[in-house]
Structure 1
Amino acid sequence: MSHTATTGPGVEQTRRLGVETTGIEIIEESERTARPRDLFWPWFAANVSVFGISYGSFVLGFAISFRQALVVTVVGVIVSFALCGIIAIAGKRGSAPTMVLSRAAFGVNGQKVPGVVSWLVSIGWETFLAILAVLATATIFDQLGWASGTGTKIAATVVVAALIVSASVAGYHVIMRMQSVLTWITGLATIVYVLLTLDEIDWAAVQEIPDGSAQQMVGALVMVMTGFGLGWINIAADWSRYQHRDAKGSSIVAWNTFGGAIAPVLLVVFGLLLAGSSGELSLGISADPIGTLGTLLPTWFLVPFLVAAILALVSGAVLGIYSSGLTLLSLGVRIPRPAAAFVDGVLLTLGTIWVVFFAEDFLGPFQSFLITLGVPLAAWAGIMIADIALRKRDYDEDALFDARGRYGSFDWVSVGTMVGASVLGWGLVVNNFAADATWNNWQGFLLEPLGLGTYVDDAAGPYWEGPWAYANLGVLLALVLGFVVTYVARRSTVRRQEA
């Protein structure tokens, strides 16, 4: 039985209705009208956020110089979004969401292993963005002298959640239109922000920052890659599945990379200049990124700055919740796509309410949880990129939904590779929130045996010593292992599947 979408409204009717009913089924040929350049809008809008400026402080936090941070930023952002672009090629080849296309590598049922990880990562990151939007509202209101207490936070939570959930439920066509508008709003506001804060840069202070070690650069590079492109990689093909079948793979990679990377590179570089100019500012950004950046502005621009910041965070959250809904469907949950997006939107709202109003110490453990999931996600990405590189033909779309088809039920090589690469990767990353998330202190178990670091259980809180301890090599190891093992071990399998 074919799983091509032969029922439901066509693209024009969908646009009139405003709600996309297409779920994880294959997109009709008549609806595949997008061109590679269309990918610029969602990727640019989701990443042109003033929050990106705060990464300058995070990068310099690895005790490296401006010039080292510049190299790390440019390489980390561009390479990570280029990896997203490679995954996006699969969307054009198979016209299905990322986690459905991944069944070709893992088997129809085996795919549920990375599927669960992907779903948790998407929900987690988008909840984090919503939390930032609510907290930013309270901080800016406080700077304006307006009410910034519980009532303001409740109102902000309602508005932010409503924007994210309604756009996610509406679906692809509404989101694409929304992103093209948000691109101009957030882009213009960001340019104004840069112009208004240029005089805060102290070039002499920036140049005086001493060089760090190669290991510190690697740690900063991993942080940049996971914070940008690798944070999106599990949903990259969701936005290319409407691409015209004759679209060039190289063009998809190029527009995906350009759209995703251009704003973060410029914003992080500007953030490096700001954070390098003032240690006090850099410290404040670590605690409250958007609120601290707002302290540099004249009062008249605080409201436009807040609106642009919230819209940018909402823009990123919308992409994630839309895709997490598709991932939920790929795991076998049998509900309509709009309902799946709504369910994930409700979870995001509940998570935001819990953190903003009830959690005394949540942000550290929450980030520790997300970093932990980043290792298996990197392993999956390596496997998926190798699988895409090995394939010469489009996917057998019917077989993606049939456990007895050519992709089978379980591909134990891929499942085993992901599990093995994840375990080894966890052994080479450390819990950055050791005091707050003690349940995660089992990580880094390979550092001492390999002579890369020493665990110190100090009275003030546990920490790691050693040049490689905080380099987080496990993420890169999982990514490379996933790719190399798959490219070598599954070559004959892919050839047989395509025969």
Structure 2
Amino acid sequence: MNDEIVKISDADKTLTPGKIFYNWFAANIGIMGFVYGAMIVSYHLSFAQAIFAALFGALSFLVPGWVAMIGQREGITTFKLSRAAYGTHGNKIPNAIAWVNMVGWLSVNVITGTMLLISMYGVLNIPKNTFTRAVALVIFGGLVILSGLLKEATLAKIQTWLSYIFGALTVVILILFLMKADWHAAFTLPSGSWVSGFLPAVSIVAAGSGISWSMAAADWGAYVKPSTRPSATFWGTAMGGAAPLFILMAGGILLSTIEPSLATTGNPFDVMYSALPSWIGVIYFLVAAGGLIPQCIVSLRSARINLSTMGIQVSQKTSLGIHGAIVILIPVYVLFISGNFLSNFELFLNFLGICLASWVAIFLCDSAMFRNNGYELNLMKPDSKTHYNWGGIISWVIATATGFMFTNNAIWNGPLAHGIFRDNSLGVFISAIVAIICMFIVKAIGRPKAAEEAN
């Protein structure tokens, strides 16, 4: 009998809606929100269209809100809940993809944070050499790894304080950007296409925010106090992520009027720095780097949970050692050997967005269609006889494959990626839509019996 604990004990459920809000607020207050705003403008939209795209993109956090609410109701983390929709064995593939996604973004954030600290050397007149680069990596990577030793309640407190500190400093940066923005240029931007411009802009924001974060939502929702209203968990998660992201994207839309290269540059932080007064340089770099730490905390914690859910049972210290080695070795390769990893790795992570969009669509459809009376605990135990839920598995395969068929980029050219689907991330939406259709078909033909394997 596997002794894995499925449900979180009531004693460990210490989070409140306020703490949930600050957790997601802190994870999305990072200065990269400005870059998302500039990316929206790059789709040749008017100011009003761009603002609407930012709003709808930010509202993709309604998805993590729903997932967190399910996690609170059941007291179970995300990919243990997912076993009901896919089966204990069938769940391992999307679980592994989610783990790669979390570790991948964690590595990207550590690389970015280290690069920010290295860039700050120029402001402080510190020489940039191999030793000082290594020091920057040790400082930023070390802070992230140490966060893995902390408990949920402690992490929630840290996220709250980071929300206050970096939230306030980011507002200062935002005001300075708005003071320099060319408002006339913003309001006179010509209108773009609602189909080939607006929808792709929304999809790329949603893929990088709400859809990507949905895999971690129940990992926090499961630790909310049982007495909390589910709607409070839902809105705490949704608005905690959506509010700061929307505000920062709106600032990025205006900032792009004076720094058009913001959406295409290889180092957007340097571009934003050039738009600021020199006296605020150190504060700017601290805000940019500090805003990445909460994202790293969320990613590291959920990556550790995902590793355990896949059946890789190791101690917390061993798990931390595995993830710590990954998020240090990859930045070492990028910063000291290759130098061009970031763009290629982000391209790779875009592929995972399609897989995760179909996964979360099936997860939520399964919950709404088949779990109205709650989840059966036996379905989520690692020794469950329900190894494969073919309705969920086949739906995920079809939806994910279809999403790839409508996607093209530098290394992949889908056979159906033509017209409005060319050179954008609409394949993410296609993947989710097809997943929903497949689940309605599963519902219509009757809930399939999951295949059982002999013990």
- After TM superposition, give the deviation of residue 200 of structure 1 in Å: 1.2
- Matches of 1:205 and 1:167, distance apart in 2: 44
Match of 2:398 among 420, 430, 449: 420
Match of 2:299 among 320, 323, 331: 320
Asked whether the equivalents of residues 83 and 379 of structure 2 are also in contact (C-alpha less than 8 Å), the reply is: no
Deviations 1:83-110 (A, max 9, x none): 1111112211332221111001111111
Deviations 1:275-324 (A, max 9, x none): 023325x36x6321222212223333222222222121011011101101
TM-score, with length taken from structure 2: 0.93
Partner of 1:120: 100
Partner of 2:199: 218
- Matches of 1:251 and 1:389, distance apart in 2: 19
Match of 1:493 among 432, 447, 452: 447
- After TM superposition, give the deviation of residue 483 of structure 1 in Å: 2.4
Partner of 1:450: none
Asked whether the equivalents of residues 122 and 324 of structure 1 are also in contact (C-alpha less than 8 Å), the reply is: yes
Partner of 2:453: none
Bigger Cα displacement from structure 2, 40-49 vs 396-405: 396-405
Structure 1's consecutive aligned runs of 4 or more residues displaced over 6 angstroms after TM superposition are: none
Deviations 1:420-448 (A, max 9, x none): 111110011111xx2xxxxx32x32223x
Deviations 1:2-32 (A, max 9, x none): 9685xxxxxxxxxxxxxxxxxxx42112322
Asked whether the equivalents of residues 15 and 153 of structure 2 are also in contact (C-alpha less than 8 Å), the reply is: no
Query: Aligned letter for 2:274?
Result: T
Deviations 1:405-430 (A, max 9, x none): 5xx11111211111111111001111
Partner of 1:20: none
| Secondary structure at the counterpart of residue 409 of structure 1 | strand
- After TM superposition, give the deviation of residue 197 of structure 1 in Å: 2.9
Partner of 2:50: 69
1:288 maps to 2:242: no
Asked whether the equivalents of residues 57 and 286 of structure 1 are also in contact (C-alpha less than 8 Å), the reply is: no
1:366 maps to 2:345: yes
Partner of 2:172: 192
- After TM superposition, give the deviation of residue 159 of structure 1 in Å: 0.8
- After TM superposition, give the deviation of residue 76 of structure 1 in Å: 1.1
| Secondary structure at the counterpart of residue 493 of structure 1 | coil
- After TM superposition, give the deviation of residue 142 of structure 1 in Å: 2.0
The 5 A counterparts of 1:40-439 are 40-78=21-59, 80-214=60-194, 215-280=196-261, 282=262, 286-390=265-369, 391-405=371-385, 408-431=386-409, 434=410
Asked whether the equivalents of residues 379 and 418 of structure 1 are also in contact (C-alpha less than 8 Å), the reply is: yes
Where structure 1 has 5 or more consecutive residues not aligned to the other structure, the ranges are 6-24, 435-439, 448-452, 454-465
1:480 maps to 2:408: no
Identity %: 26
Deviations 1:163-210 (A, max 9, x none): 111102323222111101111111111011123333211111112322
| Secondary structure at the counterpart of residue 165 of structure 2 | helix
Q: CA RMSD in A?
A: 2.1
- Matches of 2:150 and 2:77, distance apart in 1: 17
- Matches of 2:135 and 2:167, distance apart in 1: 26
- Matches of 2:212 and 2:337, distance apart in 1: 27
Asked whether the equivalents of residues 3 and 26 of structure 1 are also in contact (C-alpha less than 8 Å), the reply is: no
Asked whether the equivalents of residues 74 and 265 of structure 1 are also in contact (C-alpha less than 8 Å), the reply is: yes
Give the count of matched residue pairs.
447
| Secondary structure at the counterpart of residue 210 of structure 1 | coil
CA distance change for structure 1 residues 404 and 274 in 2, over 3 Å: closer, same or farther? closer
| Secondary structure at the counterpart of residue 277 of structure 1 | coil
| Secondary structure at the counterpart of residue 96 of structure 1 | coil
Asked whether the equivalents of residues 144 and 299 of structure 1 are also in contact (C-alpha less than 8 Å), the reply is: no
- After TM superposition, give the deviation of residue 399 of structure 1 in Å: 3.6
Bigger Cα displacement from structure 2, 207-216 vs 39-48: 207-216
Partner of 2:423: 470
CA distance change for structure 1 residues 414 and 208 in 2, over 3 Å: closer, same or farther? same
